[in-house]
Structure 1
């Protein structure tokens, strides 16, 4: 049985690096019973879409075209109108892609809808390499129906996003709480906070009723402390909390001087105090799309 899924294409943007080369990997044998559905966006003129990502599980196969990508001659920024559904899977979920030098990551969203909102639950799912052009998806969280976003990235430049629905029948691991601090960016060799400090905490067991955060920054020429008010937003998944303060970069640099900066973070969640220390730029995250953020490790550990 073959179906189709429509996709809204929003923007055509920049061309990716010309260093991207297509190196194919051997195809994987398909399961005996398959259902193939495509969510591929129609490529605008002068652009070439990447090959489909194939997802298999429970005797079903989905061939997923990217709705957002940068590949070869251009970029497309879109979103799916609905989701191909892999159904309920009790065994392995596998991912395959025919080009070499690509890596994949995944995020689970709930509810499983084509148009997510900021309130939706978001969990990182593991994508484990199992061979050339092949991976195993390991869902997280309690059993249920999720939207799965797969993010592909080429080592020489280029990326893609596909999405599908999956119902899990066994519990997966829950991610540990994680903090993310946006403090400074390298702006043509000069530290720049772009007018704000932002701290986010994800995957707490519960959302704290009361929360506060404070940054103390020590530079070459001084020290300064900044209170980070909690952002009030009713539309936020359980276990997430955000803090943000608007502070002009000029006043920060006058107070603390030049980098490196030792940044102490004092956090209080429902009366429990936690602290962490990071150094900018030494501790800037090397993860893709980290946008020069810092990942504080708190003591005592967040729960």
Structure 2
């Protein structure tokens, strides 16, 4: 449900009864606990699909209650443009999110009790939007759970203007965005990498392709290569030269390989599989080893995390 860049707000209605929250009374946004820099709101504005002529739902669909975003002495009532809730799903697109200025922090209220908030930051670089899918950095930012549905978002990463993605999920989900110019730099993201190659298909080794991702680098390397040495439990091995994919965000890298090459690696033998990844970034060699399925990331199967030596260059 990630928004795509188009020139207007679009809504696609999908009727379904699967995996969606059953509407209940919304959680009332009580005073935000621990709000140190944001007093009670003295001015309120509304944004989102129900704020204009485009309806927020469709036949048989009930839209979730809105987010509430407090910044300084202001509050934004923010209706989600994408959601699965109340008997169906709506996929919407917004190209210009409402702006919240350069507040010291954001306080966000999630109105559905079973939903929990995840936050993404996508850097906005004036005058360069629309040329590529990503012109700046894209990061996952921490959100402090204050209780009662309230979360605090503080500056994270370099000081910049970001589209802040608010993704609340539980049995269903809701998504909206605001644009925030962080007044100062925050904690910097730690470089991370993971590899998806070998999978467990009903107890047998299989593969759905090779995907190697690296994020949080201090910059995007001019030259980057990746080799993956795979060793099956019987000792048979092969080496795959992964191909760099273009169009990544600043500080991110993606590599892949033909599906048949990945499936051939899975046919080497049985579990466990040891993968040794060698990354060369602008002439500097970084090596990491992981074992599948021992190191598999729960919730992100069949990926395994990669810890490189020497460490990847971070901000």
Corresponding residue number in structure 2 for 1:3: none
Within 2, Cα distance between the matches of 1:18 and 1:207? Answer: 39
Normalized against structure 1, the TM-score is what? 0.85
Structure 1 position 56, deviation (Å):
0.6
Root-mean-square deviation over aligned CA pairs: 2.6
Query: Is residue 274 of structure 1 aligned with residue 286 of structure 2?
Result: yes
Q: 1:74 to 1:19 in 2, by over 3 A?
A: closer
Match of 2:89 in 1: 75
Over 3 Å counting, the alpha-carbon distance change for 1:12 and 1:107 in structure 2 is same
- 2:232/2:272 contact within 8 Å kept: yes
Partner SS for 1:35: strand
Measure how far apart 1:124 and its partner are: 1.9
**TM-score after normalising by structure 2:** 0.82
- The 2-side partners of 1:223 and 1:267 are apart by 22
After superposition, residues 108-187 of structure 1 pair within 5 angstroms as 108-111=121-124, 117-154=133-170, 157-187=171-201
Partner of 1:192: 206
Distance in 1 between residues matched to 2:179 and 2:272, nearest whole Å: 45
Call closer, same or farther: CA 1:14–1:224 in 2, change over 3 Å. Answer: farther
Is the Cα contact below 8 Å between 2:230 and 2:238 reproduced in 1?
A: yes
Q: Which has the higher strand share?
A: 1
2:250 is matched with 238
Q: 1:70-109 CA distances to partner (integer Å, 9 max, x unpaired)? A: 123111222124311112212x310112221321111111
Please state how far the C-alpha of 1:267 moved relative to its aligned partner.
Answer: 1.7
Q: CA deviation at 1:34?
A: 2.5
Contact 1:38 1:62 survives alignment (8 Å):
no
Distance 1:81 1:35 in 2: 19
Where structure 2 has 5 or more consecutive residues not aligned to the other structure, the ranges are 1-7, 32-39
How far apart in 2 are the matches of 1:13 and 1:291?
Answer: 29
Establish whether residue 295 from structure 1 lines up as the match of residue 295 from structure 2.
no
1:252 maps onto 2:265 in alignment: yes
1:135-156 Cα deviation digits (max 9, x unpaired): 10123122232111011111xx
Contact 1:140 1:174 in 2 (8 A): yes
Decide which of 212, 219, 226 is 2:225's aligned counterpart. Answer: 212
Cα gap change, 1:178 to 1:191, in 2 (>3 Å): same
- Alignment map for 1:89-100 (pairs within 5 Å): 89-90=103-104, 92-100=105-113
| Match in the other structure for 1:88 | 102
Shift in Å at residue 188 of structure 1? Answer: 4.3
Worse-matched range after superposition: 12-21 or 95-104: 12-21
Paired positions, count? 290
CA 1:198–1:232 in 2, change beyond 3 Å: closer, same or farther?
Answer: closer
Structure 1 residues 190-236: Cα deviation after superposition (integer angstroms, max 9, x where no partner): 43322x21211111112222222221222223332323334252x33
**Which runs of 5 or more residues in structure 1 are unaligned?**
1-5
Which of 209, 216, 223 is the aligned partner of 2:236?
A: 223
Aligned CA distance change for structure 1 residues 127 and 279 (closer, same or farther; 3 Å): same
Q: Tell me by how many angstroms 1:158 deviates.
A: 1.0
Q: What pairs with 1:8-87 in structure 2 (closer than 5 Å)? A: 8-12=10-14, 14-17=16-19, 22=24, 24-29=26-31, 30-40=40-50, 42-87=56-101
